[in-house]
Structure 1
Amino acid sequence: MIDVLKSVWRWLDARLQVGSTIAEVAAHPVPRSSASWWYVFGSATLVVFILQVVTGICLATVYTPAADRAWDSLIYLNYQQPLGWYLRALHGWGSNFMVALMFIHMIQVFLFGAYKFPRELTWVAGCVLLLSTLGMAFTGQVLRFDQNAYWGLGIGASIAGRTPIIGFKVVDLILGGPIIAGETLSRFFALHVFVIPGLLIAFVGLHLFLVLRLGINEWPMPGRIVRRNTYLQEYQELVHKDGEPFMPFAAQKDLVFAGLIILSLLVVAAVEGPIGPNGQPDPTIIQTVPRPDFFFLWLFSLFALLPPWTETFLMLTGPVAVIGLIFALPFISPTGEKSWRRRPISVVIVILVVTTIATLTWLGTFSPWSPVMDAWSAAPTPIDYVKGRTPLELQGALLVQSKQCRNCHSLGGNGGMRGPALDDTATRLTRDQIVRQIVQGGGNMPAYGKNLTPPQVNAIVAFLATMHPAGEPPARDSAHPAIPASESTY
């Protein structure tokens, strides 16, 4: 068998002439210090990406990118297709592993100064790969097309719609129209299966080419300064004096770590199972907790906790500024010290970024989504419901109108059917319960505490507290028993 394989290889190599190239890549020298466990995250990310490609191709043979069939095809994979659930689990958790590994790899590169001259373009290519990986993760969540994906995409589209002047055009470009529909899913399927993977493959090739041409970054020794006019010569002298061939010297740890990552992924997929889908997407039922997957939880939490007056500005400028700064880093600091031991500011930045993202991710597991309710117009409150009301209650009636509460709740027989009618609110909830429901949300109702001021909440509650049929008393707190009328004067 070995002789047969050798014969086949010789036949192919005689026609493709790739043997010498492969041998050159395997034997290219690397600094001995680079054969460290700190240098294994990039190769592990590549291995997980290859697994994502393989599992993605398999899933694409069953998945149906149609609005009325996508959810059903995932249910078929989960419960009918043999091992379909495991294939989905590998692909879903593989996405999480890939994002985590790439994030760790970027931190390692930053701390080791591997973005400095002459590896500026290697860093830029890595940044593109990180953004493309996050794009794959987001589009993959949308393709689940369940309630969480539907309303999560709705939030993303509403953010894009805030872009000045071209906001509506951006939304049309993302959704394929003004609403989430079948064309939306087709666009995200094309992005997830063709466009973004194409970018990833192209930039992975560019990234590997640059690594081979420029060499693997040496261990950053304190005091070894990067200077444009001397670094390349110093690196070549280091490789000549203390270099080893990549195969098998440096590749051993890469293979061991990649094997452990794949084994961990296989176990996690078997134990945790596939991610979703949850309930079928239904625009008539509001998903009050449309949480993204963990890699975007920190961003969701940040947007959910921002003061309303800062939302639009920070949503549109913050990500652009941060991404621009990351891309510009190697051009801002192309030379100088590499060792993290002599770059305390870099260490502090990493600690602050990791701590902030970890904290926001934790907060994102329970931070309430508070939609903006300001409207141009809304159905007026029926006259019968404002007769004889106090000024505070009249203000509450106006807020119920201007804040579009009747998109979800009916009043006087007219309005939405997503939530219960407002006509008998006071018979079901006490004042304190109404406040809590408005501010914190619950059930099928989002939390509106961030987008309503305390005086506005007080006015709405005052109006809703009058919503009970004539002759029927409002709800009361059971901790305070009602006082019979015959005893009320004592």
Structure 2
Amino acid sequence: MPRMKQRVTELYLWFERRLGLGKPMIDAAEHPVPENTSSWWYVFGSAATVLFVLQVVTGVLLALVYAPSAGNAWSSLEFLDHNVKLGWFLRALHGWGSDFMIAVVVIHMAQVFFFGAFKFPRELTWIIGVCLLLLTLGMAFTGQVLRFDADAYWGLGIGASIISRVPVIGGALVDILLGGPIIAGPTLSRFFAMHVFVIPGILLALVGLHVWMVLRLGINDWPMPGRIVRRSTYIREYHELTHQTGIPFVPDAAWKDAIFSAAIMLAVIACALLFGPFGPTGQPDPTIIETAPKPDFAFLWIYAVLAYLPPNLETPFMLIAPVLGIGAMLLLPLVAGEGEKHWSRRPVAVLMLTVIAVMLGIFTRLGTYTPWSPIMTAWASDPIPAVYLHDRTPLERQGALVFQNKQCRNCHSIGGAGGLRGPALDNLANQMTEDQIIRQVLQGGGNMPAYGNALNPAETTALVRFLTTLRGNNLPAAVDASRQMVLSGEKATPKGH
């Protein structure tokens, strides 16, 4: 054993004499930090770095099998899921690792903002962090496109449509993004290059620079009310604090980072095992236009916001809001680089962060179930509840068969069962007269298509008769008030006049 230890030491010294990396790495690991920074609030940066390493490792392994061509991308993922041992688990790790990385980076940015850590002398550290957040989102978007399923195809089409609205250079940007005017083979090659080489390379360089600046400028000390950041005195005050209460980052402060990073990794593994990989859904087919593409979790809030915007506000919002938002984040440390850091002395910052967090949560929730386009569930195979067939005439029962065979329950529910795209029909006859029902069936209206050409007169008559029996709680049927007035007038008028 002593001999083995001696050989390992000699090998280490051999490399150290030539590379000289040992001492700088040890100095970096043991660099002193203020004792008050040994907190669970300061663990998100390390966790994001660990998740980035996970993405690199799993991405390299996936690239060994993935075929970045329009004709083979989808099938290569199917091959990974079903023919490569633990291939599905590898894809799931990569996909869930991406979502966790975005979440951790966003929380880290929020914590930095909340603690005022963007102020002097860490302005550039914050700006680089903003760039890292944007690049992380870029990695997630390009990764979704590489699945090249139906969601990815149409989602990319929507993204290209948004970019095309940029004045003057919109068309050129689309050509650069897609490798031409349409989504084709060159498109996937470009996104593969961005996802595997370009964005990770920039990320790696900026992460290294970010870590270097943290080592050089120190970890932001715990904000204290009344401790003002001034450019003329802060560095001296920080060094005094570090000298008085400093502890080595490894191991005194790093153990919390290690525990939190391990917990995050276990959470990623658990999600990968329980929920599996994302997609691929159906194969991309440009002839199928009746589709509702939905982005990955990180972009659901954008999806919801754009869906709720009036059409005339879409283009101004998409072109102006991102510029203002990113510009404000980049200019923040330059405008507010001095002053209080404690949240109790920065109520506007706390309110702003709270509003943004609540809005992101609400729109993300809305994006998960698209309330602007109600859920459509096919119920054609289920029989109509028997209660709706009791005491019905043969014609009304024939109408129930038409209702079933024409798959009206794909969009409408009765008895609490059926689609939710259209209104429930349990009380239809209480709300619409027979003439109105006939007109709605034949001509359509609102979101309902016209069925005048899909039904023959006998089917229409039977269907309408059945629909007129749908009176909730046996309430009276709807009547045409204007017709009642006419009939009342005729009865009141004496004969012969």
Give the Cα–Cα distance (whole angstroms) in 1 for the partners of residues 189 and 452 of structure 2: 48
User: Equivalent residue for 2:220?
Assistant: 217
Counterpart of 1:467 (choices 448, 453, 460) is 453
**Structure 1 residues 294, 460: CA separation in 2 closer, same or farther (over 3 Å shift)?**
closer
Q: Where do 5+ consecutive residues of structure 1 fail to align? A: 371-426, 443-456, 483-488
User: Equivalent residue for 1:478?
Assistant: 466
RMSD of equivalent CA atoms: 2.8
Give the Cα–Cα distance (whole angstroms) in 2 for the partners of residues 111 and 275 of structure 1: 33
Question: How far did 1:4 drift?
Answer: 3.0
Matches within 5 A, 1:129-140: 129-140=132-143
**Structure 1 residues 276, 459: CA separation in 2 closer, same or farther (over 3 Å shift)?**
closer
Matches within 5 A, 1:90-489: 90-286=93-289, 288-367=291-370, 464=450, 466-467=452-453, 474=460, 476=464, 478-480=466-468
Q: 1:229-285 CA distances to partner (integer Å, 9 max, x unpaired)?
A: 000110111111111111111111111111111122112211111111111111111
Give the Cα–Cα distance (whole angstroms) in 1 for the partners of residues 84 and 48 of structure 2: 29
Question: How far did 1:433 drift?
Answer: 6.9
Secondary structure of 1:359 counterpart:
helix
| AA at the equivalent of 1:268 | C
Percent same amino acid at aligned positions?
Answer: 54
Conserved 8 A contact 1:93-1:265: yes
**Structure 1 residues 244, 469: CA separation in 2 closer, same or farther (over 3 Å shift)?**
closer
Question: How far did 1:177 drift?
Answer: 1.3
Query: How many residues matched?
Result: 412
User: Equivalent residue for 1:65?
Assistant: 68
Give the Cα–Cα distance (whole angstroms) in 2 for the partners of residues 213 and 441 of structure 1: 61
Give the Cα–Cα distance (whole angstroms) in 1 for the partners of residues 44 and 447 of structure 2: 55
**Structure 1 residues 251, 471: CA separation in 2 closer, same or farther (over 3 Å shift)?**
closer
Question: How far did 1:5 drift?
Answer: 2.5
Give the Cα–Cα distance (whole angstroms) in 1 for the partners of residues 141 and 447 of structure 2: 38
Question: How far did 1:68 drift?
Answer: 0.7
Give the Cα–Cα distance (whole angstroms) in 1 for the partners of residues 369 and 329 of structure 2: 29
| AA at the equivalent of 1:83 | L
Question: How far did 1:287 drift?
Answer: 5.5
Conserved 8 A contact 1:31-1:238: yes
Secondary structure of 2:247 counterpart:
strand
Q: 1:407-464 CA distances to partner (integer Å, 9 max, x unpaired)?
A: xxxxxxxxxxxxxxxxxxxx9588x979xxxx9599xxxxxxxxxxxxxx97788994
Give the Cα–Cα distance (whole angstroms) in 2 for the partners of residues 298 and 359 of structure 1: 8
Question: How far did 1:477 drift?
Answer: 6.7
Deviates more, 1:472-481 or 1:355-364: 472-481
**Structure 1 residues 103, 480: CA separation in 2 closer, same or farther (over 3 Å shift)?**
same
Q: 1:142-197 CA distances to partner (integer Å, 9 max, x unpaired)?
A: 00111111111111111111222222222111111111111111110000000000
Give the Cα–Cα distance (whole angstroms) in 2 for the partners of residues 433 and 246 of structure 1: 61
**Structure 1 residues 252, 304: CA separation in 2 closer, same or farther (over 3 Å shift)?**
same
**Structure 1 residues 429, 167: CA separation in 2 closer, same or farther (over 3 Å shift)?**
farther
Give the Cα–Cα distance (whole angstroms) in 2 for the partners of residues 440 and 241 of structure 1: 66
Deviates more, 1:463-472 or 1:129-138: 463-472
Give the Cα–Cα distance (whole angstroms) in 1 for the partners of residues 132 and 358 of structure 2: 23
Q: 1:286-314 CA distances to partner (integer Å, 9 max, x unpaired)?
A: 35221111110001000011011111110
Q: 1:185-228 CA distances to partner (integer Å, 9 max, x unpaired)?
A: 11100000000001100100110111111011000011100001
Q: Note if 1:25 corresponds to 2:11.
A: no
TM-score computed with the length of structure 2 as normaliser: 0.78
**Structure 1 residues 468, 71: CA separation in 2 closer, same or farther (over 3 Å shift)?**
closer
TM-score computed with the length of structure 1 as normaliser: 0.79
Give the Cα–Cα distance (whole angstroms) in 1 for the partners of residues 75 and 22 of structure 2: 47
Deviates more, 1:57-66 or 1:165-174: 165-174
